[in-house]
Amino acid sequence: MALAVAAPASGLEADTAAVVTVAQRIARHSDMMRTMAREAYDNPAVRQWEQPYDYSAISADYDYSGGNRAVDVQRGKGSAAWGFTADSCIKHKSSTLWGSASYRNGRRRGVCWNESSDADMIYPYFTADSIGGDMRMETYSFAGGYADHNDRWAWGASASYDAGLYYRNVDPRPRNTTGRLDIAAGGAVRIGNSDYHAGISAGYRKYKQSCDIEFVNELSDNRIWHLTGLGTHYERFAGLGYSHYYNGHRWGATANLFPSSRRGAVASVEVTSFRFDHILTALNKLPLQSATDNRLSASAGWLAPGRVHDFAATVSLTHGKRIGSENIFGDPAASIYPQLGSLSLYRHIVTEAGVNLLWQWRPERSALLSVNPRVEWNRSDESYADPHRRLLLSSVAPAITVKGARTIGGAWHAAVSVDVACTLPVDNICELPYNGSIPAGMQSTDIRRYDILSRSHTLAGVRADISRAVSDRYALGISVSYFRSSYTQGVHADCVDASLSFIF
């Protein structure tokens, strides 16, 4: 079976027709060139050029991650979950329709000093207790989109909804429900007679997380704290606000340059602005805290697929700033607290820059060797204004992935990849003086995180994918992967993932 490797300019339909069997589609889908311009696909109008073939899969999988010590206890030691996922991308004439649905059920292990969920979304305003523990989780997600084009214009829209339920059946008993709705719409115009398209898109996100914490044992230590970042908390409302919620909105826009042939220059710029409020329901919806997260991402690169060799190179830059504000309240009158003002005390500035290279070689038509070296520079600067606290972590992280794939006998397809990465500290600052009026455990979370992440650490892993076509249209696949992260002082974490897929 011949593998379609080069699509003619704007020849989407022809390319689709060229990739007909499921074995061909599996081989094409595992091609690393597909992901080299992933930033551009945030524009749903551009997404239709991500893959020029139909590809659907239904998977059952199990993943486990865990270590002997949590790197960040507020995010836990790891997790274990099983789930089902369905993904589909269907081409019909000039139209592309995609969708996905998933269900996951599992457990997040060893979470301390954080009873809220979606930590990366709502940090630093966690609600916490001193006990913590494992947390059960169930998540659902649905996503879909549609894109189309004619000779001049391309357009598309997408929507997704993610919901989660997180809870614990022993004290303390948090029960968090999360909901995230994302919608996006975009358009692109063909530039002259080239296959380049210039596109823009806009997106909106609505986020809400409702939380309740209950203690059944009335004789236990049942105090909760509302954290404000870097080991501080809002003392005045400690022990209050067992019911609370986070309410957020995000706006975003992208601008893209993308060749529909997936050959040539690619560029994307994305800007997002996310704001959320943390509100204590139990205190007449008291708006305790809010945060604004503005982020700019830009990437540019060159894709050069060939008959024997593929080359791709991209550079990327992300700069984000999160500012957290705490509202100040006067004396309550009948349990209603008048808001007097607001102080912006927490600040987190994130800067990331990376270079990503890819070289692929086809010694024969059914074999592919990929080498993906890359390097990333990260800088995370968190600070709290009064009392002054600061945590700066910056590092350079070179990494390489080497992958070999082969189609055997027209029915089997096997791929094995090896990943090696290391993170080297560049500049670190830890200014977290001990405060006797704050629980020691609360203050130690960031110090422990610093102790681990301020030293060099490594990651190594292997992944194997095997699939067998049972007909021209259907195939079964198995994937397994194992990664190990090694940190200082013997701290390590393992990740195992296994999945069984039905591909069509």
Partner 1 sequence: MKIAKFILAAALLGGMSVQLTSCSDDDTPVAYYPVSVTVNLPEEITSATILDEEYLFKNVSTNEVKRFTSAADIELTEGLYDITYTAHVLMANGVETTMRAMSQSVRITSGENAVNLTAYNTIEADDLIIAEVFNTGTTNATGAQNRDSYIKLYNNTDKVIYADGLTLFESDFSTIQKYDYTPDVMPTHVVVRTLFTVPGDGTRFPVQPGEYFLMCDRANRASENSFDLTHADVEWYDESQVASQQDTDNPDVPNMDKVFSYSRSITILDQSQRAFGIARLGVSAEQFLEDYAYTATYDLVTAAGAFTMTKKDCYKLPNEWVVDVVNISPRDNYVWNVTSPALDCGWSYVAQNSSDKTRFFKGIRRKMLYLNEAGNPVFKDTNNSTEDFNARVTPSEIELQGTAIDADGTPCTTRTYDGVTPIK
Q: Which is nearer to partner 1, 306 or 387 (CB)?
A: 387
Among 136, 145, 196, smallest CA distance to 164 is for 136
Q: Which is nearer to partner 1, 438 or 447 (CB)?
A: 438
Q: Could you tell me the smallest distance in angstroms from the CB atom of residue 22 to partner 1? A: 38
For residue 108, give every residue at least 6 positions away whose Cβ sits within 8 Å of its Cβ, in sequence order, or none.
76, 78, 79, 134, 135, 137, 166
Q: Could you tell me the smallest distance in angstroms from the CB atom of residue 68 to partner 1? A: 34
Q: Which is nearer to partner 1, 110 or 241 (CB)?
A: 241
The Cα 121–Cα 293 span in angstroms is 9
The Cα 97–Cα 291 span in angstroms is 36
Q: Which is nearer to partner 1, 150 or 437 (CB)?
A: 437
Q: Could you tell me the smallest distance in angstroms from the CB atom of residue 465 to partner 1? A: 36
The Cα 353–Cα 355 span in angstroms is 7
Give the binding site for partner 1 (CB under 8 A).
191-192, 196, 198, 200, 218-219, 222-223, 228, 232, 234-236, 238-240, 253, 255, 257, 267, 269, 271, 273, 284, 294-296, 298, 319-321, 323, 326, 328-336, 340-341, 343-345, 347, 349, 385-387, 437
Q: Could you tell me the smallest distance in angstroms from the CB atom of residue 270 to partner 1? A: 8
Q: Which is nearer to partner 1, 282 or 416 (CB)?
A: 282
Which ranges of 95-236 would DSSP assign to H, the alpha helix? Answer: 119-122
The Cα 118–Cα 457 span in angstroms is 25
Q: Which is nearer to partner 1, 177 or 294 (CB)?
A: 294
Q: Could you tell me the smallest distance in angstroms from the CB atom of residue 73 to partner 1? A: 23
Q: Which is nearer to partner 1, 123 or 196 (CB)?
A: 196
Per-residue CA distances from 380 to 141, 320, 391, 421, 454 (Å):
30, 10, 8, 19, 11
Q: Could you tell me the smallest distance in angstroms from the CB atom of residue 448 to partner 1? A: 23
Q: Could you tell me the smallest distance in angstroms from the CB atom of residue 203 to partner 1? A: 14
Element (H, E) at 98: strand 95-111
Element (H, E) at 183: strand 173-190
Q: Which is nearer to partner 1, 139 or 232 (CB)?
A: 232
> What does the chain come to in residues?
504
Q: Could you tell me the smallest distance in angstroms from the CB atom of residue 130 to partner 1? A: 13
Q: Which is nearer to partner 1, 387 or 409 (CB)?
A: 387
Q: Which is nearer to partner 1, 319 or 463 (CB)?
A: 319
The Cα 354–Cα 395 span in angstroms is 12
Radius of gyration of the chain from its Cα atoms, rounded to whole angstroms: 24
Q: Could you tell me the smallest distance in angstroms from the CB atom of residue 216 to partner 1? A: 11
35 φ, ψ (degrees, to nearest 5)? -95, 0
CB atoms within 10 A of CB 285: 12
Q: Nearest 5°: CA angle at 132, between 217 and 493?
A: 150
Per-residue CA distances from 115 to 110, 175, 182, 264, 447 (Å):
11, 9, 25, 47, 19
Contact 34, 27 (CB under 8 A): no
The Cα 306–Cα 360 span in angstroms is 9
Contact 367, 341 (CB under 8 A): no
Q: Could you tell me the smallest distance in angstroms from the CB atom of residue 341 to partner 1? A: 5
131: three-class secondary structure by DSSP: coil
